[in-house]
Structure 1
Amino acid sequence: MKNRATLQELEIFAAIARHLSFRKAAEERNVTPSTLSHAMTQLEQRIGLRLLQRTTRSVALTEAGQAFLLRIQPAINDLTDAVDDLNSWRAEPRGTLKLNMPRAAEALYFSDLLLPFKQAYPDITLEIASNDGFVNIVEQGFDAGVRYGNEIAQDMIAIPFGPALHLIAVASPDFIAAYGRPAQPEDLLHFPCIQRRFASGKLYKWEFVRQQQQLEIAVRGDLILDNDHTMIAAACAAAGIAFLHRESVRQALATGQLVALLEEFSIEMGGLSLYYPGRKYLATPLRHFISWLQQYNQQRLKN
């Protein structure tokens, strides 16, 4: 009986294993790294096995530690979900909802989807991490993520996150007055364009469709950005032609700051999806957000 681990010790070990860092695990649990180190030392001494390999610069799981984590992680998830599920008994749901999404998704949907959800559920803490790199939401401690459908692992549950997206080339009236307008997608090779670089380091090839055939154009330009907001500002300032989601430039098009180009060749993207692990119990904040998103999608279809 003496060599049994407590639930707190299991949670501490799982947090350290998830981050492979005493400092990050301590920040997550709001304690000091030395507290976690002491707890792990006591656990290892009591069970007579080393679970972690520690150096001054790194932390790694031993073979026994890896096997132990695989056994306890599902049980910890179930216990955490069971506690979170108690929120449904409250009149006002509480808890934290952590979402990861591309910056473009946050910009497109913050005002009319994400912020209204937070205002409707004031006792839910909404935390959004926006970046364009690929993130393992389970390892990084997120409840759900947002990505394009073809980027989502098959073992995840996914539902539409807003309507299908259209990509469109845009430029300012001043730019068009100075350089003219491209008539075909290939003409873009002769115009200064605002290029996009992905987090992977690759430059984006602009996508069009002609007679049901998809085209990719490796545009050129001496301004390279990775953020929709700055691309819109640069295009409005006549710095080049930009290629963006139509929804993100809707206001600039309506006010005449930007003009749509090559509209007959614009392509419809598959759209974004909210995805999350298929657990038996969903945390209450995530369950309410899924319901909110489904209502949002239905309303958009009516409009």
Structure 2
Amino acid sequence: MKSSYTIPRNLLDGLEAFLRVAERRSFREAAEDLGVSPSAISQTVRQLEERIGVPLFIRTTRSVGLTEAGALFHAQSAPAFASLVNAWEGARTYGGRPAGLLRLNMPRSVVPILIEPIIADFCARYPDVDVEVTGEDALIDLAASGHDAGIRVGELLEADMISVRLSPAFRFVTVASPAYLAAHGRPYAPIDLKQHNCIRQRISSGAMMPWRLLDGNRSIEVAVKGRVIVNDMASVVSLAQRGMGLAQVSEPLVLGQVRDGELEVVLGNMATSSPGLFLHYPGHAQVLPKLRAFIDHVKAAVASGMLDRLIPPA
């Protein structure tokens, strides 16, 4: 006897809304992303919860979190939804010009330095491609979050990713404002950092970003203390400019401030280097025309030397 399989009607209704709320941890921000009202998002998610039969979110006046059922549903539905979107866009653009929504993920500090200078030209060349840039410092699973590609420093790339170099290697430098150095003195050796207020950064794992310096040809990790902890490098730079303490940041972020005398580099002969920035995307995923167009656009910018001017080599 032939088996009969029936797919429930409206099975996917509300799934995109659910995934956006889960990603943003906010109904308001998800509504802004999708161009609808927060009440519409909330109603759509409630209808999805009613069809499934369990609550997916824990809602309070201050936060939105996933229930155990919601976390399980998210883990399994996010990559499936991304595959459906890719299949739809792949079929729609098969043999045609690049089109659709291109979603990029990268550290917040990279957006003004690297992406803003090239994104306008890309959008002008490809009017049928919309671009959504998510700036965040947390390391995410691109496929599970629905992003087409991301930008990371070389040491954080995963082995199964395809990567395209965007910048030459650059240094991580220790900086401070002239006012801070005048008041607290200038460090001349790693041990001197123990006497200074150091602005620290907490990374997505919950750990503090380590401070590293070169001791000859050997990289050493230095334990530092400080009264202020933030979770993104742009804030570290801003606080250093305000004289809050020493900061260790990627050199391209502070080239202008150092040139203008707002910050000074200390321990410059002990600065470590990063392999540079890379565009990366899942190696197992089909490269849709919209992403291929962006990759080719970035490669052209790299070949022209444009990105080298934005991020001078170490």
TM-score, normalised relative to structure 2: 0.73
Check conservation: 1:196, 1:224, Cα contact below 8 A: yes
**Any gaps of 5 or more consecutive residues in structure 1?**
42-52
| Letter of the 2:264 counterpart | V
Change (3 A) 1:116 1:35: same
Query: Cα gap change, 1:61/1:256 in structure 2, threshold over 3 Å: closer, same or farther?
Result: closer
Aligned-residue identity in percent: 25
Matches within 5 A, 1:221-240: 221-240=226-245
Local SS of the residue matching 1:287: helix
Matches within 5 A, 1:74-153: 76=84, 79-86=87-94, 89-90=96-97, 93-153=98-158
The answer on whether the counterparts of 1:163 and 1:297 sit within 8 Å (CA) in structure 2 is no
1:81 to partner: Cα distance: 4.9
What residue is the counterpart of 2:55 in the other structure? 56
Give the TM-score normalised by the residue count of structure 1.
0.75
Structural RMSD (CA): 3.9
**Letter of the aligned partner of 2:154 in structure 1?**
G
106-115 or 269-278, which deviates more = 106-115
Amino acid across the alignment from 1:214 = S
2:255 paired with 1:253: no
Q: What amino acid is aligned across from residue 225 of structure 1 in structure 2? A: V
Gaps of 5+ in 2: 57-66, 310-314
Shift, 1:216, TM fit:
0.9
Question: What displacement does 1:220 show?
Answer: 1.3
CA–CA separation in structure 2 for the residues paired with 1:74 and 1:122 = 23
Instruction: Name 1:187's counterpart in structure 2.
Output: 192
Is the 2:170–2:252 contact (alpha carbons within 8 Å) kept by the matching residues of 1?
yes
Q: Distance in 1 between matches of 2:253 and 2:93?
A: 36
Residue type of the partner of 2:230?
L
- Partner secondary structure for residue 138 of structure 1: helix
Q: Give the whole-Å Cα distance in 2 for the aligned partners of 1:173 and 1:16.
A: 49
Give the partner amino acid of 1:79: A
1:242-296 CA-partner distances (Å, limit 9, x unpaired): 1111111011111111111111111111223222123564222211110111122
Alpha-carbon distance change, 222 to 76 in structure 1, aligned in 2, over 3 angstroms: closer
Letter aligned with residue 134 of structure 2 = A
1:162 corresponding residue in structure 2: 167
Could you tell me whether the CA contact under 8 Å between 1:159 and 1:275 is conserved in 2?
A: yes
Amino acid at match of 2:114: Y
Q: Which residue of 1 aligns with 2:5?
A: 3
Inter-partner Cα distance in structure 1 for 2:179 and 2:222: 24
Equivalent position of 2:214 in the other structure: 209
Q: Distance in 2 between matches of 1:234 and 1:16?
A: 36
Aligned length: 280
Contact 1:157-1:275 at 8 Å conserved across structures = yes
Q: Is the 8 A contact 2:193 2:224 kept in 1?
A: yes
Q: Distance in 1 between matches of 2:269 and 2:257?
A: 19
Shift of 1:104: 2.4
Query: Contact 1:81–1:282 at 8 Å: present in 2 too?
Result: no
Find the aligned partners of 1:108 and 1:263 in 2 and give their Cα distance. Answer: 22
CA contact (8 A) 1:11 1:76 kept: no
- Describe the SS at the equivalent of 1:96: strand
